[in-house]
Chains A and B, each alone.
Chain A
Amino acid sequence: DAKTTQPPSMDCAEGRAANLPCNHSTISGNEYVYWYRQIHSQGPQYIIHGLKNNETNEMASLIITEDRKSSTLILPHATLRDTAVYYCIVSNWGNQFYFGTGTSLTVIP
């Protein structure tokens, strides 16, 4: 079963930062936080992952709270192409992914 909780939907204005929260209060010490997104009728696309430090790549930033019970994915300048369902997953290295219901992000022109 999924171990994460995300809001079902969010809107964001084009050009603004999109901040997507994820609650994972039962995360264990060696579980990573992964973020993927799925655009309609496509396979999920990897965005970013982290253990306890904040991470940044060319797509997004991942902020993990000090107690690791929640995280936020930040898309710094949302575009219309960022409209998708965003999934937050916690998993040990080598283990399976169990997807929750994700957050449907709509970027508004």
Chain B
Amino acid sequence: GAVVSQHPSRVICKSGTSVKIECRSLDFQATTMFWYRQFPKQSLMLMATSNEGSKATYEQGVEKDKFLINHASLTLSTLTVTSAHPEDSSFYICSARDRRGGSETQYFGPGTRLLVL
């Protein structure tokens, strides 16, 4: 399988500050990456689709000005939570689309746990 990394693995920040989370595909190029959020004891919820070189596509109800996504290269997408508040505390997970070998699969990163105080 392919490897996707996320940094940082966990972050604590004060309310009102911004936090950037990086998602990297380590051994393949990904023109498309996805960002999810997961609250305790719940399933993953898709937030947005990140496309290399173009604007991200956000799911209904996700504020694009609050969750800024940049996909500047074929191996890196970033999610910035702007003016974070305690209700933004969650587990953020990215995935990258792998199209090698004539098949298509998404591989997920290990997740970033965000705690906003």
Which of A's residues lie within 8 Å of B, judged by CB? 2, 32, 34, 36, 38, 41-46, 49, 87, 93-94, 96-102
Query: Total A-B pairs in contact (CB under 8 Å)?
Result: 53
Within the complex, which residue of A41, A93, A101 is in contact with B43, where a contact is CB–CB below 8 Å? A101
Which of B's residues lie within 8 Å of A, judged by CB? 1, 4, 6, 32, 34, 36, 43-46, 49, 91, 93, 95, 97, 103-111, 113
Per the bound structure, the CA–CA distance linking A100 and B13 in Å amounts to 30
Q: Is the CB of A97 within 8 A of B93?
A: no
Q: Is the CB of B34 within 8 A of A96?
A: yes
Q: Is the CB of B111 within 8 A of A100?
A: no
CB distance from B62 to the nearest CB of A (A): 12
14 contacts between A and B (CB under 8 A): A41-B113, A43-B111, A45-B108, A46-B1, A46-B105, A46-B107, A46-B108, A49-B105, A87-B43, A96-B46, A97-B34, A97-B95, A99-B43, A100-B43
Within the complex, which residue of A2, A44, A100 is in contact with B108, where a contact is CB–CB below 8 Å? A44
Determine chain B's interface SS by DSSP, over half rule: strand
Q: Is the CB of A42 within 8 A of B111?
A: yes
Per the bound structure, the CA–CA distance linking A97 and B105 in Å amounts to 11
Residue of A nearest to B109 (CB): A43
